[in-house]
């Protein structure tokens, strides 16, 4: 088991945060949490970054690590057997967000979620 001191976690928040519907906020949180947990459990990363970007009408969340990467076949299959990836994808799609993963063996992984704000989402 890796000691916590061997890992650097950085969180960046860019832009002015806005309030979201609590159900949407919860789903975005759960996707981000799963991405961080996957990186901690599986990637052997020494660095994990979470970046949250509040743009004018778009919220983007990135979780990046410098770990071992994910099997490319698991990333590309819609019906992968890895519940974490499938669960993140389904959560994002259920709220109308775009979801993507970039990974390469030995080069780490980046999970991306983008949620477009509509007038009804931000009171």
Q: Please, what are the domains in the chain?
A: 8-116 (3.30.565.10)
Residue 16, token pair as written in the block? 């002015």
Residue 123 clears pLDDT 80, i.e. is over it: no
Average pLDDT over residues 34-41: 93
| Bridge partners of residue 13, in order along the sequence | 52
Q: Tell me the per-residue pLDDT of 50-60, one tens digit each, with 9 for 90 and over.
A: 999 999 999 99
Residue 42 clears pLDDT 70, i.e. is over it: yes
């Amino acid at each position: 088991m890796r000691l916590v001191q061997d890992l650097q976690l950085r969180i960046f928040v860019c832009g002015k945060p806005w309030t979201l519907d609590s159900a949407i906020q919860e789903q975005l949180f759960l996707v981000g949490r799963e991405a961080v947990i996957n990186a901690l459990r599986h990637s052997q990363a020494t660095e994990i970054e979470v970046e949250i970007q509040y743009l004018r009408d778009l919220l983007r969340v990135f979780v990046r690590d410098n770990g071992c990467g994910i099997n490319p076949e698991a990333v590309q299959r819609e019906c992968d057997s890895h519940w974490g990836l499938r669960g993140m994808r389904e959560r994002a799609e259920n709220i109308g967000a775009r979801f993507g993963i970039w990974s390469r063996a030995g080069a780490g992984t980046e999970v991306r979620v983008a949620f477009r704000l509509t007038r009804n989402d931000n009171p």
